[in-house]
A and B are shown apart, each in its own frame.
Chain A
Amino acid sequence: MDKCCWLFLGMLFLSSALSAQHRYRIGLLPQVNLNVKLGDRWRLNSKVEMRPLLTAGRFGEAADGWQYGLTDLALLGAVKLSAQQTLSGGYLARFVGQEIHHRTIQQFSLVNRFPSFRFGQRFAADQTFVPDEAMALRLRYRLSFEFPLNGESVDPGEAYLKLNHEYLNSFQEQEYDLEIRIAPSIGLVFTDRNKLETGLDYRLDGFLDAPGRSTIWWSVAWYRAW
């Protein structure tokens, strides 16, 4: 039964992804993530992320070439509820062409450490405000696994493998969409507060009642904390 279930999901995914009407995007996802400690429990997190698209189109049709996607600037205030739990909230400005989209964000994250890996969970909600459109609400859940590539913990100078898996539920007026993300990446720890990650970020959306869209980003993220 379990095998059948996985097989069914796999077939559903493949049939969606390989459909001739299936849309795709391939691009770069550079990100700078800066964190500043404000006192014992409070933090300030800022993020700059760009999305230049290398190519986009539908399978079986001529593809579009390079185009500027968007730039995100985010600022979140965070409070450490405990060593593993963080509650954050803030604002993100998205620059798309001449428009600015506004987004408010609330999230709760939890990181557990097991003998040979770290496991993170993030529960998030965001509300996006775009001119002349109804507010879009998203409810997100992300699982993250971080495996050291040497030893049982990631020490300075060592590398790690990180796997993110996220479900995003979007609600806008009467419409609902589900986006699924899988992002494997390799990280390098220079110091505990200075890390670089690079990998692939695969996103599948719009597949519930349409051929759907696949997006593959090559992500490069720099995490720096003070």
Chain B
Amino acid sequence: MKRSYYLLCSLLLGPLVSVAQDKYEREYRVPMEAVPVMARSFVDSCQFERRVRWYREESIDGHSFEAKVKEQGRRYSIEFDTLGQIQDVELLSRWNELPALSRSAMEEQLGTLFNRFRLKRIQQQWTGTRIVLLQAIRGQVAAGIELRYELVVRGRGTDGVQWYEFLFSASGQEERRSAIVFRNTDNLDY
């Protein structure tokens, strides 16, 4: 019962605000049978104990499949192309889990863009070969992994408050920035 109190409190009071991106994409749940065999076999190799949810994503860039799972308190999102080749692995993280040097480089860059900013979601993005990514998920040392950080930021600049999604390199250099547009909330406001 305590857990439900915490859940209720976090719902009511928590500043845990995540966002919906300006998606020219559609994501929907698919059964495991609809997923390419290669993608399924990769996820099977990960030996997740918790249930894996499969999604298909359609966007102007093409189609992809995504496996989402929460394992040992960590939320993984594994993306594959339509042939089942792995694209990347994203892992929801805490700011203080990132190396101090990367954090300060990212903070410095964000500081030049905004008068004030708040980090809303932090994800590690891993790319690399199938074997390297599998080792990384299993918690083994994976030397060939390419690491980036995906940050969702609420920033106050001269034009007011805006939300952005940033992609930073492992050293904290900005690689990509895109503005986030929220879905219409009329049916929840009125």
**A residues adjacent to B (C-beta < 8 A):** 2, 33, 35, 40-41, 45, 47, 76, 78, 82-84, 86, 88, 109, 111-115, 118-122, 144, 146, 150-158, 162, 187, 192-193, 195, 197, 221, 223, 225
Contacts of A45 in B (CB 8 A): 186, 189-190
- Say yes or no: B182 contacts A155, CB within 8 Å: no
- Say yes or no: A121 contacts B12, CB within 8 Å: yes
Q: For chain B, which range describes its interface: under 10, 10 to 19, 20 to 34, or 35 or more residues?
A: 20 to 34
Known contacts A45-B186, A111-B189, then 10 further A-B pairs from the complex at CB < 8 Å, ordered by chain A residue? A33-B187, A35-B190, A40-B160, A83-B161, A84-B185, A113-B182, A151-B26, A151-B28, A153-B27, A225-B184
- Say yes or no: B20 contacts A153, CB within 8 Å: yes
Give the shortest distance, in Å, between B107 (CB) and chain A (any CB): 22
- Say yes or no: A120 contacts B188, CB within 8 Å: yes
CA distance A202 to B186 in the complex (A): 21
Give the shortest distance, in Å, between A167 (CB) and chain B (any CB): 13
Contacts of B141 in A (CB 8 A): none
- Say yes or no: A152 contacts B27, CB within 8 Å: yes
- Say yes or no: A83 contacts B182, CB within 8 Å: yes
* With contact pairs A112-B17, A114-B16, A115-B18 given, residues A223 and B186 touching in the complex (Cβ less than 8 Å): yes
Pick 6 A–B contacts, CB within 8 A, sort by A. A84-B185, A109-B185, A115-B18, A115-B75, A152-B27, A155-B23
| Residue in A111, A115, A156 whose CB lies within 8 Å of B188 | A111
- Say yes or no: B18 contacts A155, CB within 8 Å: no
Interface status of B55 (Cβ within 8 A of chain A): yes
Among B18, B19, B27, B75, chain A packs the most CB atoms within 10 A around the CB of B27
- Say yes or no: B188 contacts A144, CB within 8 Å: yes
Contacts of B184 in A (CB 8 A): 192-193, 195, 225
CA distance A115 to B18 in the complex (A): 7
CA distance A138 to B96 in the complex (A): 45
| Residue in B25, B183, B187 whose CB lies within 8 Å of A223 | B187
- Say yes or no: B189 contacts A82, CB within 8 Å: no
| Residue in A2, A33, A119, A158 whose CB lies within 8 Å of B186 | A33
**B residues adjacent to A (C-beta < 8 A):** 1, 11-12, 14, 16-20, 23, 25-29, 55, 68, 75, 154, 160-161, 163, 182-190
How many contacting A-B pairs (Cβ < 8 A)? 101
| Residue in B29, B55, B186 whose CB lies within 8 Å of A35 | B186
| Residue in A112, A121, A162 whose CB lies within 8 Å of B187 | A162
Nearest A residue to B12 via CB reads: A121
Nearest A residue to B58 via CB reads: A155
- Say yes or no: A187 contacts B28, CB within 8 Å: no
Among B17, B19, B25, B75, chain A packs the most CB atoms within 10 A around the CB of B17
CA distance A197 to B1 in the complex (A): 33
Nearest B residue to A146 via CB reads: B188
Give the shortest distance, in Å, between A20 (CB) and chain B (any CB): 35
Give the shortest distance, in Å, between A70 (CB) and chain B (any CB): 18
| Residue in A47, A152, A156, A193 whose CB lies within 8 Å of B190 | A47
- Say yes or no: A151 contacts B27, CB within 8 Å: yes
- Say yes or no: B189 contacts A88, CB within 8 Å: yes
CA distance A109 to B28 in the complex (A): 28
Nearest B residue to A185 via CB reads: B187
Give the shortest distance, in Å, between A173 (CB) and chain B (any CB): 29
Contacts of B185 in A (CB 8 A): 84, 86, 109, 111, 118, 120
| Residue in A78, A112, A192 whose CB lies within 8 Å of B183 | A192
| Residue in B17, B28, B55 whose CB lies within 8 Å of A84 | B17
Contacts of A154 in B (CB 8 A): 183
Among B23, B75, B186, chain A packs the most CB atoms within 10 A around the CB of B186
Nearest A residue to B184 via CB reads: A192
- Say yes or no: B11 contacts A83, CB within 8 Å: no
- Say yes or no: B19 contacts A113, CB within 8 Å: yes
Give the shortest distance, in Å, between A7 (CB) and chain B (any CB): 14
